[in-house]
Amino acid sequence: MSATKLTAALAAAALLALAQGAAAQQPAAPKPEPAPSAAEQKAAASQTTAAPATAAAPPASVAPGAAELKDARAMVLQDQRQPLNNAPVWSEVRSGVPQYTSIPGREAGILIQSSGETWREARVPIAFWGGILVALAVLGLAGFYLLKGTMTVESRSTGRLIQRFTPADRYAHWLMAIAWVILGITGLILSLGKSVLLPVIGYTLFSWLATAAKNLHNFVGPILIVAIPWMFIRFVRHNGIGVEDVKWFLNIGNYFKGHEYPSGKFNAGEKIVFWLLLVVLSTVLLVTGLVLNFPNFGQTRQTMQLMNIIHMASAYVAIALACVHIYLGTLGMAGAYKAMRYGYVDETWAEHHHKRWYDDVKAGKAREKFVSRDQVPAEVWTEIEGAARPAAA
Ligand code: HEM
Q: In this predicted structure, what is the pLDDT of residue 83? A: 80
Residue 295: count of CB within 10 angstroms of its CB = 13
Q: Which residue, by CA, sits nearest to atom 25 of ligand 1?
A: 177
Annotate 260-293 with b (16+ C-beta within 10 A) or e (fewer).
bbbbbbbbbbbbbbbeebbbebbebbbebbebbe
Distance 273 CA to ligand 1 centre (A): 8
Cβ of 379: how many Cβ atoms within 10 Å?
9
Mean pLDDT of 327-337: 94
> If we measure between CA atoms, which residue out of 96, 101, 95 comes closest to residue 62?
101
In this structure, are residues 333 and 341 in contact, taking their beta carbons and an 8 Å threshold? no
Q: Tell me the C-alpha distance between 130 and 187, whole Å.
A: 12
pLDDT at 286: 98
Spell out the residues 6+ positions from residue 392 whose beta carbon is closer than 8 angstroms to its own: 156, 157
**Protein residue closest via CA to atom 36 of ligand 1:** 274
| 172 within ligand 1 shell (Cβ under 6 A) | no
Best residue among 340, 345, 355 to mutate for probing ligand 1, ranked by most atoms within 8 Å of CB: 340
Q: Tell me if 173 CB under 6 Å of ligand 1.
A: yes
CA of residue 268 to ligand 1 center, whole Å? 13
Among the listed residues 285, 327, 278, 319, the one whose alpha carbon sits nearest the alpha carbon of residue 135: 319
Nearest ligand 1 atom to alpha carbon 239: 41
What gap in Å lies between CA 347 and CA 189, rounded to an integer?
Answer: 42
Q: Is 177 left (phi over 0), alpha (psi -120 to 50) or beta?
A: alpha
Please check the confidence at residue 121 and state whether its pLDDT lies above 50. Answer: yes
361 pLDDT above the threshold of 60: yes
Percent of the chain residues past pLDDT 90, beyond the cut = 59
Predicted pLDDT at 79 = 79
37 pLDDT band (50/70/90 cuts)? low
Distance from residue 8's CA to the centre of ligand 1 (Å): 107
Q: How far apart are CA 306 and CA 313, in angstroms?
A: 11
Between residues 147 and 61, the one the model is more confident about: 147
